[in-house]
Amino acid sequence: MEVRGRKLHFGVQLQAQRTDWAGYARAVRAVEELGFGSVWTFDHMLPFAGPDDGSCFETLTTMGALALLTERVRIGALVNGVLYRDPATLAKAAAQVDRMTGGRLDFSLGAAWAEREFRAYGLGFPSLAERYGRLEEALEVVTALWSAPRTTLSGRYYRLDDAPCEPKPVQVPLPVTVGGSGLGSLRVAARFAHRLNLIGGPGYCAQRWARFGQLCAERGRDAAEVELSVHPVLAVAATGAGAHELASRLGASNSGQPGEPGEGWLTGTPDAVVAQIRRYTDIGVSHFVFALPPPFELAHLRLFVQEVAPAFQ
């Protein structure tokens, strides 16, 4: 099935928290073996909800490992936060991972939001306006480093002086996903993104996509050039009661408290999830990345592959 001329894509984000490496690596391999098109980590220094004393894997080292653990799927971090590292370091790491995978990296960047992580480690957490400014300038840096032999840039936040970036990425251009639904993120995406990633229900995503289209038009860009992606939690089971129980467990994995499905969840029987996905494809979504917290229950992913995905072939 195609949406706006793009083949429908299903991927999985394995949240790299409250787990061990052996279990994480097994889950990565399983996602690829099940036939999903991509596998993603996240970009955090602490578990992003609930108690902060659980394990949380560093992102760039995890990305390098994903490159070596996989053979077919595309890989990425949904999404890198602009405040965690300088953009030159991020550009170098992304280019290296793209080389290691033979051109399977999806690069991403967002404004960063998990304030408690920055407080815990003594890192600056500026205003939202500054974070949007850094996001835009960081994308100027990384795209220049990937494309030009050397880059000199004197910006408000970042400076480069005749800086090379070797090796360059395999992909030209390296695909850029911008994550976020705030006006600042949408403006940056209208300038740089190959893909816009949103979190929320179909109605909310449709509203933000419409606003994004206006911003693209203001820049003289056709929004159709940009793929629309969403990042829901998936809880599919043979029965509605089973799906509700699974959703509760998945919510508890993140927060330590029983979870309830809400906007941005795909929850129910296979037929119900098919209908929910169609509500997204009807507004132009062609790219889905399902959030999966530890302990990485895979039965519902198998059910999705067997009974949901065939409806979209």
CATH numbers and ranges of domains, the chain: 2-261+278-312 (3.20.20.30)
Contacts of 218 (CB under 8 A, 6+ apart): 190
Query: Distance from CA of residue 90 to its chain's centroid?
Result: 16
Residue 45 neighbours by CB under 8 Å, 6+ apart = 56, 58, 84, 114, 117, 120, 121
Instruction: Answer yes or no: is pLDDT of 61 > 80.
Output: yes
Q: Which two tokens stand for residue 189?
A: 């995406």
Mean pLDDT (whole number) for 184-194: 98
* CA atoms of 303 and 307, how far apart (whole Å): 6
What confidence score (pLDDT) does residue 32 get?
98
Q: Is the pLDDT of residue 262 over 70?
A: no
Give the residue with greater pLDDT, 51 vs 305. 305
177 has pLDDT over 60: yes
Dig out the tokens for 229 from the structure: 């992606």
Over residues 213-252, the pLDDT tens digits come to 999 999 999 999 999 999 999 999 999 999 999 999 998 7
Give me the pLDDT at residue 256, please: 44
